[in-house]
Amino acid sequence: MNKELYNDELAILVCSFDKVIDILELWDKYTFRYFKHLNKKYKIYYGLNFSDKFDSKLINKNILFSNTLDWGKSMQIWLSQIESKYILILLDDQLIKKLSIKKIEIILNDISNENIKFSSISYGVQIIQKFINKKIIYKGNIPISKYSINLQPAIWEKDFLDKLLDNIKNPWEFELKSSKLYKRIFFKSYYYLTKDIVFFEQYIERGEVYPKRFYKIFKKNYRSLINRNKLRTSRRIWSHIGYIYKLLKELFNVLNSFLIKKINYL
């Protein structure tokens, strides 16, 4: 029997780091300017490290501190302070472009009814969105690959995510080990595609900025960020090639799911 979820079943955790508080401040200002309704529907939390070093005027006051620099332990400590069963995990440079709360609610109910552990809501969106029906949510199995399970925007079952974080030191280790586990035991993981849930491309890599991506989001020069340099041209080119490869691979996976009729509709 299907069940309806209450608003407090989902929370949003924006994972950050004390040394990149300037990036979190941009997320805070942007989101509370353009998506004010989001905070009224779901609790938004920011994950940082040390409370005694905190000195920022963030709009959102739901700030969680881990008191450690260990990434895996920080994630687990932040999660332990959130009561919701499901968590939308975002990184501090993952900005929302479109977000339909109605579609999130439909996806969330499906996640709960089907006992799904990991649900990507940004899978291959940039290409596929142009061709899908606006009224429909498409759902497919996450294909097995080196980075099947990753830190792109996704809704997680909190307790399951907490277990995956045991003995994890950094995000890259988390993605690799989680993907290997997925290949071995194939826990329930799906992607959801809809025109109404979209995120901008991440504009920060290893502390350096993609100028064009930054401008596309904030409509201002990246130099407004103090002590931030633009990414080297060669690295931007390779990153762009990698990004195109990722999107094409995801497009192929989705089209293949359509062809073999392994895609579902909500």
* CATH code: domain of residue 53: 3.90.550.10
Q: Which helix (H) or strand (E) holds 25?
A: helix 21-34
Please give the structure tokens belonging to residue 33. Answer: 């300017």
At 223 the pLDDT is: 79
Number of domains in the chain: 1
2 domain-assigned: no
At 147 the pLDDT is: 86
Q: Which amino acid is residue 121, in one-letter code?
A: I
Burial of 94 (0-12, 13-18, 19+ CB in 10 A): buried
Rounded distance between C-alpha atoms, residue 186 and residue 220, angstroms: 44
At 1 the pLDDT is: 40
At 234 the pLDDT is: 59
Burial of 261 (0-12, 13-18, 19+ CB in 10 A): exposed
SS3 155: strand
40 domain-assigned: yes
At 209 the pLDDT is: 87
30 domain-assigned: yes
At 47 the pLDDT is: 97
Q: Which domain holds residue 105?
A: 7-201
20 domain-assigned: yes
44 domain-assigned: yes
114 domain-assigned: yes
At 145 the pLDDT is: 85
218 domain-assigned: no
Q: Which residues of the chain have pLDDT under 70?
A: 1-7, 124-127, 226, 229-263, 265
At 233 the pLDDT is: 63
Which residues, other chains included, contact 125 with Cβ-Cβ below 8 Å and sequence gap of 6+?
193, 197, 198, 199
88 domain-assigned: yes
At 120 the pLDDT is: 95
